[in-house]
Structure 1
Amino acid sequence: MKNEWKEQIAELLGESKLLLDTASLEKYSKDYYWYSPILEPKLKHKLAEGIVLASNEQEVNQVLTYAYSQKIPVTVRGAGTGNYGQAVPLEGGIVLDVSGLDKVVEIGDGYVRVQCGMKMGVLEKKVREQGQELRMYPSTFVKATIGGFISGGSGGIGSISWGTLWDDNVLEAIVYTMEENPQRLVIRGAELHNYIHNYGTTGILTEVVIRLCPSKEWVQSIVSFESLEDSLHFAHALAHNETIPKRLLTPMEWPIPSFFVPLAKHLKPGAHVVFLETEDGTLPSLTLFAAKYKGRVSHVIEAAFYHKVLGLSDFTWNHTTLWALKAEPTITYIQAGFSPENFISQMQQIKAEYGDEVLLHFEWMRSGVRIVPGSIPLIRFTNEARLYEIIRFFESIGVSVSDPHVWTLKGGAAGKLNNMQKKKLENDPLGLLNPGKIAVEI
């Protein structure tokens, strides 16, 4: 790409909106792809040629219009907390940072309209001031942006009650296309599936409307068990118990809890644990319920400290992987879906085959009308062939796997990949939006 475009972008938006120094190129061209020992060597040298900082929709429009005219690739970025290289520019060009679009437009009864760069931790605080809360958020919510979560995530804390992003949790999105004259599309209904978990390949989100729910006071607790089987039976039963409202339900086998250094004094060596967020006032019922499954409540964080100190959710979902990596740098992970009926048998087969080479933790969640045991197993990585042998074993016993060691969108995107490919061709006819992340013929 010729250097003239940099001067012209600076003239369009102002010099402060364009970053060209080496440190900025390195910082803004990366996300958390290094969780994967397979992606890390493939992506570590990929860099944008320039970083553009947008703070409003007009600037997004200007950048897309200019980049289209010059055939410059554009990769959109929020906070860069994704794990699959979603925000890594495979073909250079521009990384368009939209974290400057960070305003709440409107808070209504059961919804919030917000710009895509708003950090989810800030948004949670703002809506709780109005007596509401986010239905769900990722474990990275202190840093993650709402647009990045919708474009690269799927579920998180709250999914035990409210499901995934596809479960009517996104009501509307404002999307810009990559054309000679970019369109500002207002997307609602089933059409939203072309833009949820799209890696910014089918259009760039600038504003979204998401559902809220009435806020609750949440108490956090750790329930300890002598056996992994008992912890999973408890988690399954609690997931289906509607008398104890929940925001988090995460069973973990030992030695995963040993990786959580800040919690060391609250964790008994050798104990399998379940991390919970339940509505304040439910602790007596929860204690009795746990006892039925040979569990005991071993640590409690009172509701008054919720989101004011390091919380249990900071050790769940893919933050579990982060803590594990700090303890054992060779650990990696996969994303798996266990059978709601046969998860105990599947767990036992995996442990019999791999022992501590594969460490299991689960996230009970809703998906559509079902309650399912999702999982992000930790793998003590040796080589790529062995990793894919483990994946094939999971699949052979009926455990579905979404491979986090590739940067391309696959059919796991809520089964909507074919429609997304068609929308990519329609909205991005030159294939300039985050090229290489979705397979289409241009």
Structure 2
Amino acid sequence: MWVERLKNTIADQTEITSDNDTVERLSKDAYWYSPILYKELNGMKADCAVFPKNEEEVRTVVAFAVKEKIPLTVRGSGTGNYGQSIPLNGGIIIDITQMNQTVKETSASVTVQAGKKLGTLEKELRKKEKELRIFPSTFMKSTVSGFLCGGSGGIGSIRWGNLWDNNVMYVKMMTIEEDPKILHIHGEEILLFIHTYGTTGILLEAELPVEDKMEWNQYLLTFPTFQEAVDCCQYLTEQGNMPLRLLSTCEWPLPQHYKPLISYIDEGSSIVIIESTIMKKTMEKIVESQKGNMSLFIPSEKYQKGLKLSDFTWNHSTLWAHKNGENMTYLQARFDKSKLHSQIDTIKEEYGDEVQLHFEFIKIDEEITPAALPVLQFRSKERIYDIIDFFEKHGIQINDPHTYLLGFGGYNMRMDEIKKKKKAYDPYDLLNPGKIPKTREVI
């Protein structure tokens, strides 16, 4: 069995395990957010997992895998939601979480190894009066490589956009060949290596831009109606002098699932969550003018300490609903800012509480845009795609979170160029195989 040969090859230098429980755990992500993906992917796992501590140990594993033609899947930590890191063909999991050092720091950037946790990095930077531009709501667990290869945006995206908006300055990659090469990627070419589910090379290091630390206050606002909550968000985005790091809103009944916040939220209320440098007195005046209520204020000195309101935004919203509701799943959508209320009304008239709306405001092409993560009561795969068709019919763009195929989710990805990189740097198709579709036909 090739696992024994791998153990003999690396046992003196690299930890390896074929323990069933460990390998199964490392072979999973949060694919269960989607009942469709759960049905398709449940039970799939690697044959063993290795835990390299440095680049040379990764190289040894890669060289062995290429010689034996064994599939490889690179694993960090966090919560990928589309089965991005689930091995479809067994093989070796490369867990890179021990490669977690900071390599270089400047006043404008930080270079770190792939396994560095973003929560740790952000904490270290803030002690030095710096901060990251963007990170996912799962930043306490997520590794740099997991975010760059499987994510897109998150906290800070309202200011800085998504990963591909000049928020990654450099990546160091390893190819999957008999003699693995090291690639140093800068500029626009980076786009062929990030958000590609780790299919075009193994990410070893990344350089990320940093900014001067800001003092972020957190606010939980409540409103009698969702329309008023959305209006407040739009008002805030139209004020050019209000630095925002996070702006999130959702309608009732979603907030009923947020157990740590429920005492601050009246039944039936829609909520807005904000991270901003706006001072409390100024925010109180804004909330009064918008006919809302400030239910909770967390001052900047307690930022990322104790209760974090970001734990109830982005796909944490889906997670809370999944924990405390029944058969809950979600979509990813982009509404038209100029038609926002009419699109909301159309969705609610058609589906009521079957579709519970949740918006994150992010910068796209220099314009702050309402991106949605609506939570759905799952009934069937057919029903999901009927809802998607309805959204698209009414001008709402959908990124489908119920597929593990790269490019099928709706992102505008340069798939032809990505496939060329894949062929050049992984000629035997060993790196996370099965995630790049052979054609554009819907499966």
Tell me what 1:71 maps to: 69
Give the alignment of 1:118-197 within 5 angstroms: 118-197=116-195
Q: Given the superposition, is the C-alpha separation of residues 247 and 219 from structure 1 closer, same or farther in structure 2, using an over 3 Å criterion?
A: same
Q: Given the superposition, is the C-alpha separation of residues 8 and 118 from structure 1 closer, same or farther in structure 2, using an over 3 Å criterion?
A: same
Q: CA deviation at 1:11?
A: 2.9
Cα separation, 2, equivalents of 1:9 and 1:173: 30
Aligned sequence identity (%):
42
Q: Deviations over 1:50-88 (max 9, x none)?
A: 111111111111111110111100011111510011110
State which of 279, 284, 288 in structure 1 corresponds to 2:285: 288
Q: Does 1:33 align with 2:38?
A: no
Matched AA of 1:31 = D
Give the alignment of 1:412-423 within 5 angstroms: 412-423=410-421
Tell me what 2:261 maps to: 263
Query: Comparing 218-227 with 186-195, which one deviates more in the overlay?
Result: 218-227
Q: Does 1:389 align with 2:389?
A: no
Cα separation, 1, equivalents of 2:169 and 2:360: 25
Cα separation, 2, equivalents of 1:180 and 1:7: 17
Contact 1:290-1:297 within 8 A present in 2 as well:
yes
Tell me what 1:56 maps to: 54
SS state of the match for residue 38, structure 1? helix
State which of 327, 337, 349 in structure 2 corresponds to 1:330: 327
Matched AA of 2:429 = G
Q: Deviations over 1:376-407 (max 9, x none)?
A: 10000011111110111111111111111111
Tell me what 2:368 maps to: 371
SS state of the match for residue 184, structure 2? strand
SS state of the match for residue 95, structure 1? strand
Q: CA deviation at 1:15?
A: 7.4
Tell me what 1:427 maps to: 425
SS state of the match for residue 270, structure 1? coil
Contact 2:399-2:411 within 8 A present in 1 as well:
no
State which of 211, 221, 224 in structure 2 corresponds to 1:223: 221
Q: Given the superposition, is the C-alpha separation of residues 231 and 134 from structure 1 closer, same or farther in structure 2, using an over 3 Å criterion?
A: same
Cα separation, 2, equivalents of 1:40 and 1:8: 31
State which of 85, 96, 120 in structure 1 corresponds to 2:83: 85
Tell me what 2:300 maps to: 303
Contact 2:247-2:272 within 8 A present in 1 as well:
yes
SS state of the match for residue 341, structure 1? helix
SS state of the match for residue 229, structure 2? helix
Calculate the aligned-residue CA RMSD, in Å. 1.4
Q: CA deviation at 1:92?
A: 0.3
Contact 1:48-1:93 within 8 A present in 2 as well:
yes
TM-score (normalised: structure 2): 0.96
Q: Deviations over 1:137-185 (max 9, x none)?
A: 1111111101100000000011111110011000000011111211100
Tell me what 1:408 maps to: 405
Cα separation, 2, equivalents of 1:308 and 1:270: 29
- Unmatched 5+ stretches in structure 2: none
Cα separation, 1, equivalents of 2:425 and 2:391: 37
Cα separation, 1, equivalents of 2:295 and 2:95: 44
Q: Does 1:207 align with 2:205?
A: yes
Q: CA deviation at 1:355?
A: 0.2
Contact 1:161-1:365 within 8 A present in 2 as well:
yes
Matched AA of 1:424 = K
Q: Given the superposition, is the C-alpha separation of residues 61 and 237 from structure 1 closer, same or farther in structure 2, using an over 3 Å criterion?
A: same
Q: Given the superposition, is the C-alpha separation of residues 436 and 260 from structure 1 closer, same or farther in structure 2, using an over 3 Å criterion?
A: same
Give the alignment of 1:8-23 within 5 angstroms: 8-14=6-12, 17-23=15-21
Q: Deviations over 1:253-277 (max 9, x none)?
A: 0111111011111111111110011
Cα separation, 2, equivalents of 1:416 and 1:310: 40
Matched AA of 2:421 = K
Count of matched residue pairs: 438
Matched AA of 1:237 = Y
Query: Comparing 413-422 with 203-212, which one deviates more in the overlay?
Result: 413-422
SS state of the match for residue 237, structure 1? helix
Q: Deviations over 1:205-226 (max 9, x none)?
A: 0100001111111111111111
Cα separation, 1, equivalents of 2:294 and 2:8: 58
Matched AA of 2:87 = P
- Unmatched 5+ stretches in structure 1: none
Q: Given the superposition, is the C-alpha separation of residues 241 and 6 from structure 1 closer, same or farther in structure 2, using an over 3 Å criterion?
A: farther
Q: Does 1:354 align with 2:351?
A: yes
Contact 1:197-1:413 within 8 A present in 2 as well:
no
Contact 1:25-1:47 within 8 A present in 2 as well:
yes
TM-score (normalised: structure 1): 0.96
Cα separation, 1, equivalents of 2:131 and 2:429: 38
Tell me what 1:6 maps to: 4
Contact 1:162-1:366 within 8 A present in 2 as well:
yes
Matched AA of 2:386 = E
